[in-house]
Structure 1
């Protein structure tokens, strides 16, 4: 039996202005259906994807942030947010949805290096 492949999905853009966050989330959930080991990594402005209490309806956009709470339901257990990028943006984990674990950049790089596939939009 073949070993399952691993996929790292890197969220590195703010949640609004592009569709990349929504599209990467869709990719993660679809890949989970194929029994791949999936890691969701939030770096750079991608950490804003996880902010609590977003109100994109003000911008006439759909709110996809609540869907991040489904990652665990889909078996996506490795969800990391860059502690350095949180510090640089003066954010704390209390301001984020409780779906990600803080990780130093070297840990995130290690996860990426060990992945069979990496997606970033």
Structure 2
């Protein structure tokens, strides 16, 4: 039986490479058919904002790659409802990914606690 992995995105998409690097790790781990859960908490919910324009700052836009997560069989994609509320965001502000699940902080904590490995940067 495969070990489960939670990848926790907790940083804004630009200003560091953490989001891009975690996304690369998620896609690479998916190639090994490991059960992966992508979790977006805190400022990490900004990773999923629709209509990002980092090219204005000469930064590569990696946000569209999140739409590919289900294509890599990463179908557990949790977004912290509390973080959305904290940053005054709505579900409509995020990328259109059918597999997004809007979860409570407690549900997310439980998912992380039940994972074999947890990765964050």
The residue aligned with 1:48 is 46
* CA positional deviation for 1:101: 1.5
Q: Distance in 2 between matches of 1:59 and 1:18?
A: 14
**Structure 2: how far apart are the matches of 1:72 and 1:98?**
12
Residues 25-104 of structure 1 correspond to what in structure 2 (within 5 A)? 25-99=23-97, 100-104=100-104
Q: Unpaired runs of 5+ in structure 1?
A: none
TM-score by length of 2: 0.97
Question: 1:108 — aligned with what?
Answer: 108
* Shift of residue 73, structure 1, vs aligned partner: 0.1
Structure 2's unaligned 5+ residue stretches are none
* In structure 2, C-alpha distance between the alignment counterparts of 1:89 and 1:53, rounded to whole Å: 17
Structure 1 residues 36-68: Cα deviation after superposition (integer angstroms, max 9, x where no partner):
000000000000000000000011100000000
When the two chains are superposed, the root-mean-square deviation of aligned CA atoms in Å is 0.5
**Partner in structure 2 of residue 16 of structure 1:** 14
Runs of 4+ more than 2 Å apart: none
**Count of aligned positions:** 119
Distance 1:98 1:42 in 2: 15
Q: TM-score, normalised by structure 1?
A: 0.97
